[in-house]
Structure 1
Amino acid sequence: MGEQTMPLEWVARILHHAVTHYSHRDLNVAVSSLAGPADRNHKIYQLIDMYEKAYGTFPHDRVHSTMRVYLDNDRLPAQRKGDRPGHTTVKRWMDACFDCFAPTVGTYILPSALLKQDGRWYACASFDVPESLGFGNLFTDGLRTILERANDSSCLQMIAQGGGLRGLHGTVPEEFTTTRTCGGFCASCSLLSDKYREVNGMSPAEPLPVVPTDALMTRLRPATPTAP
């Protein structure tokens, strides 16, 4: 859940639903909090305060957190824009997949999925995840169906077993990975995923369905309690 656009009260409500409806064996919850280098203020404290005003004691034993300070890539000599002109090969990007946050926020193990606020579920935590790694909408397909689709994906299995995009070496033509260039990890992921589908005779990935805002609010709105 990206803090840039999602109100913190929504995040608090989702956390409360998660910890009250599922045990620690069913669902693990993590919050990654990045602070700017100028003030180093973390929104996690605002989130905790908001949660406790609405629901009571914050579930520290259920919500795991990481707190780091964001540093712009331009601050690091090896990461200046002049050194990253967008002409890096797909092969170089895929060999470093899952390490993309290390220069700025430290070594970080990405969660294995991204759930957008409208229910779309992707098998990667990056906000720029390609549509080829989308496996359904939580509100229309259900979590079990989505997980079954993800588990049946041969491309995703190779990525997981290989520790990132490097797991796709040998599944797409080497000429493609060594000659095609792009500007980042997510762009290389999209190119590799599309090429994998093409090589294996699969149809191109289509965008996941979006639940309209009105319908989404209806699904999220708590049911009115009935009189005893």
Structure 2
Amino acid sequence: MLSVGEQTTPLEHVARILHHVVSHYSDRELNVAVSSLADPAVREHKIDELITTYDALYGSFPHDRVHSTMRVYLANGRLDGQAPVNRPGHTPVAKWMDRCFDCFAPTVGAYVLPTSLLKEHGDWYTCAAFNVPEKLAFGNMLRERATDLIARANSSAYVARVRAGGGLAALHDVVPRSYTEKTTCTSFCDSCSLLIDRHDEVTGESTGHRSLAPLIPVAALLGRPESSEGGR
């Protein structure tokens, strides 16, 4: 399950991803779902605007391929007398590790929790957090087959260790406590990023994969054909 943030992502970019998926994969290879939230005051869902955007760019929206979940957002208001939110900025990495659940494992029930993030330009991450560590990128959906990206993530030693250990606590076997108990950070995601760097440093492994952008001739960007002599 992939997550694409709609707060600031232009809808034409989301439409491009949907069009790419339905054009390159069958319904047996890859299913697509859009979860749309609406403000209870107006109850206007962004999926309606997304369908209009898709129709204008690519023709009829593929309703038979894109599943939809439409919900109304309800603000999670605080109770009278409830303690203020405490966001620690000096918590040891070890403490984050010991309280972490496995972010890479899907949660299935009344709601299926996304386990991956797909950015608008196609970069695919094996974590659904919007501030996901860059080293959890495993390729680009618009340039590579989804099966290759998934296989690459499944072969990652870091991801395998977190999965096998049920969370970041599994990294205690790799990253020394002399580091995790003295190094502080502000969140699970920050601790994950620090642990990836230390994990790779200790093991000599390399987590993640960045897809290189295709080389486009300068002449093509300028709208002129390349000369026979080969310009720069």
TM-score if structure 2 supplies the norm length?
Answer: 0.67
1:91 Cα deviation from its structure 2 partner: 3.2
SS in 1 for 2:181: helix
Larger relative CO (CA 8 A, sep 6+): 1 or 2?
Answer: 2
The number of residue pairs the alignment matches comes to 205
Give the Cα–Cα distance (whole angstroms) in 2 for the partners of residues 165 and 37 of structure 1: 37
Higher helix residue share: 1
Q: CA separation of 1:48/1:97 partners in 2, compared to 1, >3 Å: closer, same or farther?
A: farther
1:115 corresponds in structure 2 to: 118
2:63 to 59, 63, 67: 59
Q: Percent identity?
A: 47
CA contact (8 A) 2:115 2:127 kept: yes
Gaps of 5+ in 1: 100-106, 219-228
In 2, Cα distance between equivalents of 1:131 and 1:39:
36
Q: Secondary structure at the match of 1:179?
A: coil
Call closer, same or farther: CA 1:41–1:87 in 2, change over 3 Å: farther
**Deviations 1:128-163 (CA, angstroms, capped at 9, x unpaired):** 111221223345565454333322211111223344
**Match 1:208 to one of 203, 207, 210:** 210
Give structure 1 regions of 4+ aligned residues with deviation exceeding 6 angstroms.
none
| Cα RMSD, aligned residues only | 3.8
- The answer to whether the aligner puts 1:128 opposite 2:131 as a matched pair is yes
Residues of 2 paired with 1:78 and 1:96: CA distance?
23
Structure-2 residue corresponding to 1:152: 155
* Structure 2 CA distance for aligned equivalents of residues 126 and 114 of structure 1: 7
* Residue of 7, 12, 16 corresponding to 2:10: 7
Stretch of structure 1 that moved more, 49-58 or 111-120: 49-58
1:43 counterpart residue number: 46
CA, structure 1 residues 70+93, in 2 after alignment: closer, same or farther (shift >3 Å)?
Answer: farther
Structure 1 contact 119–211 (Cα < 8 Å) conserved? no
Answer whether contact 1:89 1:177 (CA < 8 A) is retained: yes
Contact 2:17 2:122 in 1 (8 A): no
1:6-27, CA deviations, whole angstroms, 9 ceiling, x for partnerless residues?
A: 3223323432332343223211
TM-score by length of 1: 0.68
* CA–CA distance in structure 2, aligned partners of residues 66 and 159 of structure 1: 33
Match of 2:140 among 115, 137, 141: 137
Q: Where does structure 2 lack aligned partners over 5 or more consecutive residues?
A: 104-109, 221-232
> What amino acid does structure 2 have at the position aligned with 1:208?
R
